[in-house]
Structures are given as C-alpha cells and as structure tokens.
Structure 1
Amino acid sequence: VLDESTNRADNDNEVLVSGKSYTNMEHKWDEAFGYLYGAEPDATMPILDQDSFLSEYIDRVEGDADFAGIATTIYDAFKLGRAAIVEKNYSVRDEQAAIIRENISLIPAVRAVFYLQNGKDNLTADPARAFHGLSEAYGFIYSLQFTRNPDTDAPYFSKTEVDTYLSQLMAGNGFWDITPTTLDQISDDIAARFNFTTAQASN
C-alpha cells in the first residue's frame, strides 16, 4: 500500500496526513513496523519476545546459531527503508521492503521444520509432546501461504501446496498415524524452498 492512490506524489511534495506530522507513505511504513515492534518497551532498542506472535518467533529463530543475525537484518531494513522514504529514494525503500519480506517469510518456515522434527523425535517416547510439536507445525505450515517471495511477489508456497501438506499430517488417524518419513519429506520440501536445511532448523 506504500504507493496506493497519491501516496508517492504526496510524499514527494511533503503533503502530510491531516493534523499529523507524517506523510501517508511514512504512516504505512510505520504501521508495518508497529506490527512487529509495537509491544517493545523501547522500539529503538528491540529485545523481541514481547508478544506471542511474530516477535516471539523471530526471537526463537534468532536464537538458533544457523540463523543468528536475522533480527538485526529485519530491524535495519525497517530503519533504512524509513529513512529512504524521507529522502524520497524509492529504489532503496523497495530494496529494504524486499529484505523484510524475505526474512519475515523465513520465520514460519524455520519454525515449521523445527516443530516437525520435534514431533518426529518424540513420536514413540512422548506422544503428548510430539502432538504438541506437530500442532505447532500445523499452524506454521498453514501460514506459509501468506509469505511473500520478493522475487516473484507471490507466496513461497501456494494454498494448494499448503493444503496438501496439512492433508498429509491429518491423513488416517492424523498424528497417531504420521510417520517419520512423511515428517522428513515435508521438512525437506519447506527447507529447500527457503535454501536452508532440515538439520539447520532442527536445533
């Protein structure tokens, strides 16, 4: 929505939202920032894990050494993109938006694989724990249809692909019948689409 209606022309001419100190384009960018950092005590120094939504899971992925730095990458892109809007540099703005899209999309993919593998590892020894992990995985897999690949401007996984994975998880008696082979196959498919490995997301 950054360029909807007259947003770009208004930003170029520094036309502010009525009664406010920002342009509509700045406001739209700030809204996106707020969905991630709005619960932070100090948004200039985010500590993450301040909600039970995206902040929590960026924190979890950041805590995995294989993905360390992703939190800084996302935050820095938000800052630079906002500065680019002020400077009316829309190519830099769009580059930062692409970085944000790519890295935020990575979060549910990593957590889906993590929980699929957590479920697999506990299937025999601790079914209750396994089913909890697989339930988490179900939710993260569902969310993959709402990711955004900046290279294609489409989700990394289509709704049809997501529905296929969910059907595999629920086939027969659902989690009671799921096999390690199926969990590995889904994990590997998701990991490959995002260019990481199942092993990287598993710890």
Structure 2
Amino acid sequence: MKLTAIRALWDKLRAKGGDKLTAVLEQTATLSRHSAILMRIQHAWRHLPRVHRRLLMVLVPAVVVLALLPSPTPTESSSETFAPQARQPVALNPEVSRSLSSPQASSSKTSSSVKASSSVAASATSKEPSTSEESAWTRHQIESGDTLAKVFRRYDLALTDLYSIANIEGEGKPISRIQPGQWIRFKRTSSGALDILQIETDKGQSALYFRLSDGSFARQR
C-alpha cells in the first residue's frame, strides 16, 4: 500500500513538473519570437531615413493617444438641436388672407393697377410740352455777310435742296432777299437731310418749305 501511494505521489509530482516545464518552454519560445520581431523592427528602423524616423516618433504617440481617448457621448444640447420644432399658428391679416383667397379680386386689382398706370403714362405723355419737337429744330440768325448757301454749308445741309427751294421760293422771294438779323429755322429727317425750312420775312411773317414724299419741296400756302 505504501509503495502504491508513493508511486502515485511521484506521478503527480512528475506531471506537475512536466506542465511547468512545458509552460516555461512555451514562454521561452514566445519570447524568442518577440525578440526576433523586435530585431526585425530595429533593423528596419535603422535603415529608415532620419526625417522618416522623426516623423514616426511624433505620429505614433499621437495615434496611440487618440486611440485611447474616450468617444464623445451625445449631449442634451445636441438632442435639443435635432429635436423637431413644434409648429405654431401664425395670425394673418384678414385683408391679406381675403385677397389671397380670392384670385378674381387679385386679378381685378392687377388689371385696375395696370389700367391706372397706363392712364397715368398716357396723361404724362399728353402733358409733355413739345420740347422734343422743338429740340429737333435748329435756329440760326443771319449775320452780316451770311448767305443761305454759307449757312447750309455750316450745318452740312445739301446745296441741291437749297437750289430746289430757290426754284419755288414764290411770293416775296424770301430766299433771294435774305437780310442780316432775320431768323431761319430748319428741321432734319432721320437720315440728317433737310426736311422743313422756315424763313422769317420782313413783314414779321414766315415762309415755310417742306419736303414731299418724292424728295422735292413745296411751299406752304
């Protein structure tokens, strides 16, 4: 009985010693692998340029610190920010709502405003003085030594038009008897040619010559 108990005790001790030995061998193998990996890393580190090693020395700790930082938890303010807002009734002006609800009224108001604006524009146009018409006329007072030919040259008017008017100057001969101090007025066409010529006569009246559709001139009777 004693021998059997001693043998069993021996087997237990040997089993425990084997387990410890196996654990020690596994730890030794793990350390050797880690040392081999460290040797490779150290070898690769030595072959890196100096600038790269400095950058890694700065970036690696920063990445580790960022990885260890706790993730931010949503706050109450953010939940309030994204919370749906409650709709609140807005009081409308009854006149505005009535105008919006009745398209016929709005269209009638629009048409009436358009008519009013057009009538105002028409009245303004009708009330405008004949300044535009007067500005189309050019006045010139005959000076000493002036002739109608000289005046026509000064204002770039065609002398052929002057000759056509001279052929029909008519009663009183206002073109041939032009005197210093008299006034003449003329109006041009859109192309710049002479359209109407008015000559002041010695009796305080005037003679008016105008261009016909065929290009010739006639005297107003």
**Scaled by the length of structure 1, what TM-score is found?**
0.22
Greater helix fraction, Structure 1 or Structure 2: 1
Which has the greater radius of gyration?
2
Greater strand fraction, Structure 1 or Structure 2: 2
